Amino acid sequence: MHHPVRSGMPSHDLGTNGWSKPWSDDAGGACVEAKKLCDGRVALRQSTDPDGPALVFTTNEMTRFLAGVKAGDADFLC
């Protein structure tokens, strides 16, 4: 059965290949994994829960998020 790609869907429905770990903690346990989808969207998941939900972002959303992080807009989180 084909599931439409949506934010919050089980990560395993997006397949097991193509996930990478561009961000990880120093302890080597909890990592954010990212996957570029065929339509250009980006999915993120928690590496310690690979069957858990994936957050799916449009290219524009991810571009704006990364630009904001680079500009320091998320510094309050640290």
Q: Count of CB atoms within 10 A of residue 14's CB?
A: 18
**Percent above pLDDT 90 for the chain:** 69
Question: Is 1 a member of any domain?
Answer: no
Over the stretch 26-62, which tens digit does the pLDDT of each residue have? 666 678 899 999 999 999 999 889 899 999 999 999 9
CA gap 4, 75 in Å, rounded: 34
Does residue 67 lie within any of the structural domains?
yes
Instruction: Report yes or no on 19 lying in a domain.
Output: yes
Boundaries of domain holding 26: 11-71
Q: Is residue 3 part of a domain?
A: no
* Overall number of domains in the chain: 1
The reported pTM is: 0.83
Whole-number Cα distances in Å, 49 to 2, 45, 52, 76, 77: 22, 8, 5, 26, 22
Cα–Cα distance measured from residue 72 to residue 43, given in angstroms and rounded to the nearest whole number? 23
Does some domain include residue 5?
A: no
